[in-house]
């Protein structure tokens, strides 16, 4: 199964926030959209990072009283780990595991095709195993 297959089911909507907005603004967006990460864009709209729940918690530990003044650019993760639509789900699972991240932007050419989470990858893996098990059972039973 490929990342493209996950996006076909999940959709390609990706929420983002501007780098000059505050961490508190990011928290509001994360809660509003019930998601775990936002892509961060600069004034020209280019992707410059990602801010996740984990990044917010790191700021809370040291500067929780200042979340309304800290720019997203100071809290975000700058080194993006990404995948492409033709990557296999197993490869993406390896990326999130090896890099200890929970969200992968899906880049297609110069644009963003979507964003997947570790939950999306686990669901896709479980669905594939369930399908294979059903197929094997029917094969064994001669259907």
Determine the average pLDDT of the residues in 57-78.
92
pLDDT at 40 (0 to 100): 98
Q: What is the pLDDT confidence band of residue 140, given thresholds at 50, 70 and 90?
A: confident
Residues 102/54, Cβ–Cβ less than 8 Å: yes
pLDDT one-digit tens code per residue, 128-139: 667 666 766 677
- For the beta carbon of residue 117, count every other beta carbon within 10 angstroms: 19
- Residue in 28, 22, 21 with CA at minimum distance from that of residue 63: 22
Residue 43 vs residues 40, 73, 116, 117, 142: alpha-carbon distances, Å? 10, 12, 24, 26, 61
DSSP-derived letter for residue 123 is H
pLDDT one-digit tens code per residue, 16-59: 999 999 999 999 999 999 999 999 999 999 999 999 999 999 99
Q: Which residue has the higher pLDDT, 140 or 12?
A: 12
Domain count, the chain: 1
Pull the structure tokens for residue 79.
């080194």
CATH code of the domain in which 44 resides: 3.10.580.10
**DSSP output for 65-93:** GGTTTSBHHHHSB-S---B-TTSBHHHHH
- Residue in 78, 24, 1, 84 with CA at minimum distance from that of residue 47: 78
pTM of this prediction? 0.84
Residue 137 vs residues 30, 141, 143: alpha-carbon distances, Å? 42, 6, 9
Domain that holds residue 37: 3-140
Query: What does residue 77 show for φ and ψ, rounded to 5 degrees?
Result: -90, 125
């Amino acid at each position: 199964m490929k990342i493209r297959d996950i996006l076909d089911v999940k959709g390609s909507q990706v929420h983002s926030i501007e780098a000059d907005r505050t961490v508190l603004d990011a928290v509001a967006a994360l809660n509003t959209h019930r998601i775990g990460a936002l892509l961060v864009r600069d004034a020209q709209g280019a992707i410059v990072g990602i801010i996740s729940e984990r990044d917010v918690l790191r700021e809370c530990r040291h500067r929780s009283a200042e979340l309304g003044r800290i720019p997203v650019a100071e809290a975000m993760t700058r080194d993006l780990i990404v995948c492409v639509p033709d990557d296999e789900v197993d490869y993406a699972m390896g990326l999130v595991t090896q890099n200890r991240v929970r969200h992968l932007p899906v880049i297609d050419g110069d644009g963003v095709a979507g964003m997947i989470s570790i939950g999306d990858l686990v669901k896709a893996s479980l669905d594939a195993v369930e399908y294979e098990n059903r197929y094997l059972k029917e094969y064994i039973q001669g259907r």
